[in-house]
Structure 1
Amino acid sequence: MERLAAVRRDLAENGPPRIPADGPDFATVTLPERDCDQVRDLLVEEGAGTVVEIGLAYASSALAIGEALLRAGSRSPRHVVIDPFQHTAYDGVGWELMERAGLEGIAELVTEPSQRFLPRLAGAGFTADAAFVDGGHHFHNVFVDLHFLSEIVRPGGIVVLDDLWWPSVGTAVAYFETNLGWDPMPDALVDGTVDPATGRPRTGAYRLPDPRPAPSFKEFRPFF
């Protein structure tokens, strides 16, 4: 835990050890430390033992999730991290930080698009307690991710989304809230970053229904 805390602190204070030439801007793509702490605390409170994360980047959220998994006390914590751009756009920096923090024993990196990997994970019967979504922000990509996560995350589990203030992300999750009973958790991330222009929060958490619903197509409700 001390090793992990030191890596998190250094990343928050000094940034990543390097930013690849023409690589994504650290401040723009990275979840701020206070938001990471809230995600960590939520996962600890939930007692999460297995988490699927989409989008590694410079690993700020992944390190916080790793800390949550260690704190939650599971006998076999597991963190599946999906990022097809980790070894290209990010030059492997995020995964290097995960290794530096000593998390490679509980985390695994998948370097293919989530829209291809998640269907196989669901087909294999994989179950997670929670998911953190910060991958491709096109509506169709977010929608597909959430569709398969609705099968992977156990009933009553949680899904946390970053960049919820983007219309493409907010609209995608609105379908699952409106038609599949995903329940917003407005008190879970109350002190997080907000858009100064609109006041919309950057992150949002949703609890999945238990049992998992199977509505008729005739019950479809517009969500946009």
Structure 2
Amino acid sequence: MVTMEERRARVREVRRRLVREGPARTRDREADFEKVTVPERACDQLRDLLIREGAQTVVEVGLAYASSALAIGEALITVHAPHPRHVIIDPFQERAWSNVGWDLLCSAGLDSIASLVLAPSSIGLPRLLAEGLAADAAFVDGSHRFHEVFVDLYFLRKIVRPGGLIVVDDAWTPSVRTAVHYYERNLGWRAIPDAFPGETVTAAGAAPQAGPGSRCRAFRLPDPSFEPPFEEFRAF
């Protein structure tokens, strides 16, 4: 029987190899892996945050080269819940990424707890909600268009349990930052300031720099959840 430590070691080896050697294949764009993938440090911080949270079910929007998905899988294995679940939504994984991220998850043995939804998040998330999925946390790294981020967050606040976590990547971008700010101002989301310490970026693919912000930001949902009266709308 494979032990938890053996499973974790297998995931960590795949993660190390991805950082050291890069993926087996990339899209035909210059430095695409370096520009797209979530950096190792941020992935470690995401893993540690989910472990502290005791997360057992996680929804992820965007797979790409699977750096964050591998970190989430490592966290779920470490928590050692009886029925861990990692639901990943990425409509482009097959046709744009040639399944490179999913293949990495399979090589790490994480396909036993992960499932891939090959549909836009605006379709996949409502399906999960209709199925009654309840998650402890979500990681959002899909489309960065404001309206699509806003819709992702709308459905995730209904899927992630009250008091759970929603983590967003590229929180420095105006579109992502503005979408999140609505939920902070109007729906009681509370930023966790020390979740991703020590790094910030100023442009997509730029090298991390010391600074006051971070590429990723984590938010605690209110418990209990609530719907505000329409008269109390706060501009964002």
Normalised to the residue count of structure 2, the TM-score between the two structures is: 0.91
- For 1:191, the equivalent position in structure 2 comes to 198
The alpha carbon displacement at 1:90 in A equals 0.7
Q: Does 1:138 align with 2:145?
A: yes
Percent identity among equivalent residues? 59
Q: Does 1:203 align with 2:210?
A: no
The alpha carbon displacement at 1:13 in A equals 1.1
Q: Deviations over 1:136-185 (max 9, x none)?
A: 00000000000000000000000000000100000000000000000000
- For 2:73, the equivalent position in structure 1 comes to 66
Distance 1:218 1:202, change over 3 A: same
**Partner Cα separation in structure 2 for residue 83 and residue 133 of structure 1:** 11
The answer to whether the 8 A contact 2:129-2:155 is kept is yes
The answer to whether the 8 A contact 1:158-1:208 is kept is yes
Normalised to the residue count of structure 1, the TM-score between the two structures is: 0.96
The answer to whether the 8 A contact 1:23-1:90 is kept is no
Q: How does 1:72-91 map to 2 (within 5 A)?
A: 72-91=79-98
- For 2:111, the equivalent position in structure 1 comes to 104
Q: Secondary structure at the match of 2:111?
A: coil
The answer to whether the 8 A contact 1:8-1:60 is kept is yes
One-letter code aligned to 1:173: V
Distance 1:214 1:20, change over 3 A: closer
**Partner Cα separation in structure 1 for residue 193 and residue 38 of structure 2:** 18
Q: How does 1:17-166 map to 2 (within 5 A)?
A: 17-22=24-29, 25-166=32-173
Runs of 4+ in 1 over 2 A off after TM superposition: 20-24, 191-200
Q: Secondary structure at the match of 2:110?
A: coil
One-letter code aligned to 1:187: D
**Partner Cα separation in structure 1 for residue 24 and residue 124 of structure 2:** 29
The alpha carbon displacement at 1:192 in A equals 3.5
The alpha carbon displacement at 1:73 in A equals 1.5
**Partner Cα separation in structure 2 for residue 124 and residue 52 of structure 1:** 14
- For 1:5, the equivalent position in structure 2 comes to 12
- For 2:234, the equivalent position in structure 1 comes to 221
**Partner Cα separation in structure 2 for residue 108 and residue 35 of structure 1:** 23
The answer to whether the 8 A contact 2:26-2:97 is kept is yes
Q: Does 1:212 align with 2:222?
A: no
Extract unaligned runs of 5+ from structure 1. none
User: Which region of structure 1 is more displaced relative to structure 2, 117-126 or 103-112?
Assistant: 117-126
User: Which region of structure 1 is more displaced relative to structure 2, 186-195 or 168-177?
Assistant: 186-195
**Partner Cα separation in structure 2 for residue 190 and residue 26 of structure 1:** 23
Distance 1:174 1:10, change over 3 A: same
The answer to whether the 8 A contact 1:38-1:192 is kept is no
Extract unaligned runs of 5+ from structure 2. 1-7, 203-208
- Cα RMSD (Å): 1.5
The alpha carbon displacement at 1:23 in A equals 8.2
